Structure 1
Amino acid sequence: MLINCAAYQDGRKLADIDIESISDYVARPECFVWVALKDPEPEELAVMKEEFGLHELAIEDAQNGHQRPKIEEYGESMFAVIHTVEMDEAAELLIGEVDVFVGRNYVLSVRRGTRAGFQNVRERCEREPKLLKEGSAFVLYALLDDIVDRYFPIIEAMNSEIEALEDRIFERNDSAASRAIIQELYSLKRRLVILQHHIAPLQEAVGKLTGGRIPSICEGMQAYFRDVYDHLERIVRIIDGRREMVVTAVQVNLGMISLAESEVTKRLGSFAALFAVPTMIAGIYGMNFQSIPELHYKYGYPVCIGVMFLVDCVLFWRFRKANWL
């Protein structure tokens, strides 16, 4: 599906153009063409290949999708694969892909599996004609910057989830609740791993545009791409920190479970001791021997019961003082 197809000159929009006119504007060195496609059919990509003269390997990657985030050079053009991350109502991650073909005087963006579009990026570029005069390199930067900025709300939502789970860990929970917390922590860790899997490679790719051998298309834009790189570096560090927090939270939760089990064990042991002393005394006087002390004493029974009660009272007081009961 064709979303937008427009020609620009000196940072200003000339007009929305037809697909058949793309090659005519591309042939004009003072112009550049920006085309946006959404979930295109192979036939549409074939037309774009002819109009822009795109490399067949890049077209093949765009058709197949599911590529690792990367930025590759094909002669005087570049091909970038950027992953988008969105969160649905169930807090599950939705991964999309944006493929960007960049030449001296054209930009072709192809997005798949993304719910949010990039009309705001086009509007931003058109509001900044001085920067848009840089041509296709600035458009690539604007797309990268917008996609990277969309990562931050996802991370903030996960951070809030971690804090909520940490608060629940220190509440008095039964085994079912503790098990649920561990399951949620594991789910959160899995999503953080997925997020890092789709973001970390992009940091490496953008690093190629900030120093060393810069592609000729991006000359003069290093500072802008470095800003994107810094954001990606910050995001990757945050993800690493959150993963460590989740691992620590799991360990703390397991520790709290062990403490709860220890408390139960102490209580059971205390009650067992309270029953053990009377049982021992009753067992001794229940033996079939004739010469047991005080066996025929008139007040032997109440004295025996009193001793049992007194010993249990002392034990109960000691256990209660030690917070075992």
Structure 2
Amino acid sequence: MLINCVAYENGAKLADIPVEDISEYIIRPGCFVWVALSDATPEELAQMQDEFNLHPLAVEDAHHGHQRPKVEEYGDSLFVVMHLVEPAAEGEYSVNVGEVDVFVGKNYVLSVRNRSKQGFLGVRERCEREPELLRNGAGFVLYALMDAVVDRYFPVIDALEVELESIEQQIFTQGGAARDKIKQLYDLKRRSLILKRAVAPLVEAAGKLHGGRVPQICVTSQEYFRDVADHLGRINGSIDAMRDTIGTAISVNLSMVTIEESEVTKRLAAWASIFAVCTAFAGIWGMNFEHMPELKLRYGYAMALALMGGTCSYLYYRFKRAGWI
């Protein structure tokens, strides 16, 4: 679906143009066309391929989708793939993973957004408010799109970190089942892995756009791409730290479960020892032998009860002092 198709010249917007007129504008000096598509059909991609002379391999990747984040050069043009990681519906412990494919040439920018509810209208408005920067052409538009995608990673990782802190606090409380906490931690680890798969390849890809041999399209915007790469590095480091913390939290949670089980085992063992005394005495005096000592004593029954009670009380005192009860 076509979102918009706009022509720009010397940093200023000329007009919204029909797709059929693209070829007339891209041949004008200092002019470039920015087209945005959402969930594009094969027919729309084929039309864009004809208008911008896109490389067939790049078009094929955009058509099939589910590509790894990357930056590829095709002659004097670029093909950039980025993952859009967005929180799912409120109250759900999941994230939605979309994709944006960007074709960039000297006189055009084509963005194809797939499986994502959040558009890039704010990016276009931002660029139009900065005509001095927009004069840098398609390279600056590519930076603006990448910057918008990377900025959307920050709320996701912030939400994951807040959730992790909440689970860590629950580990040291008595409430909540251990199984539920481990399930939450593994679910958190799965979502952090999704974010990692979006960020880590893009760190390397963004490095191609500043320093060293930079594509001609991006030469005038190198410092901006360096800023994007710096943000990606920070996010990547935060993800690694969070994944390490999740692993530690899982180990601590399992250790707490083991400690609790040990406490329960000690209590059971202590009470079993106490009742074992009663069982032993009762078992001895319950034997049906004719000649047994103390059977003829007048206070033998009371003495037996007192002996059992005293022994059990002493054991209870010792176990209580040792912290087993």
TM over 0.5: yes
Residue 264 of structure 2 aligns to a residue whose secondary structure is: helix
Compute the displacement of 1:293 (Å): 4.0
1:94 aligned residue (93, 96, 105): 96
Question: 2:162 matched to which residue of 1?
Answer: 160
Structure 1 stretch 141-150 or stretch 246-255: which is displaced more? 246-255
Corresponding residue number in structure 1 for 2:25: 25
Give the equivalent residue in structure 1 for 2:53: 53
Corresponding residue for residue 65 of structure 1: 65
Shift of 1:45: 1.2
Percent identity of paired positions between Structure 1 and Structure 2: 57
CA RMSD of aligned residues (A): 1.4
Contact residue 139 and residue 220 of structure 2 kept, 8 A: no
Task: Identify the residue that residue 74 of structure 2 maps to in structure 1.
Answer: 74
Correspondence for 2:231: 231
Please give the residue correspondences for 1:92-171 in structure 2 after superposition, counting only pairs within 5 Å. 92-171=94-173
Distance in structure 2 (CA, Å) of the matches to 1:152 and 1:113: 20
Which stretches in structure 1 are left out of the alignment for 5+ residues? none
- After TM superposition, the structure 1 = structure 2 runs for residues 190-229 of structure 1, keeping only pairs within 5 Å, are 190-229=190-229
Which residue identity is paired with 1:130?
Answer: E
SS of 1:66's partner is coil
Q: CA deviation at 1:98?
A: 0.5
Structure 1 position 47, deviation (Å): 1.3
Alpha-carbon distance between aligned partners in 2 of 1:301 and 1:74, rounded to the nearest angstrom: 101
Q: Which amino acid aligns with 2:27?
A: A
Partner of 2:37: 37
* Counterparts of 1:285 and 1:92, CA distance in 2: 66
Q: Which range moved further: 304-313 or 276-285?
A: 276-285
Return the offset for 1:323. 2.4
Matches for 1:258-277 after TM superposition, within 5 Å: 258-277=258-277
2:102 is paired with a residue whose SS is strand
Partner of 1:311: 311
Q: Which amino acid aligns with 2:163?
A: E
Q: Which residue of 2 aligns with 1:178?
A: 178
Instruction: Give the secondary-structure state (helix, strand or coil) at the position aligned to 1:109.
Output: strand
How many matched pairs? 323
SS of equivalent to 2:297: coil
CA distance in 2, matches of 1:306, 1:42: 93
| 1:170 to partner: Cα distance | 1.4
Instruction: Report the AA paired with residue 123 of structure 1.
Output: E
Greater CA drift, 299-308 or 275-284: 275-284
Deviations 1:237-282 (A, max 9, x none): 1111111111111111111111111111111111111111122222
DSSP 3-state at the match of 1:208: helix
In 1, the alpha carbon distance for the partners of 2:175 and 2:38 equals 48
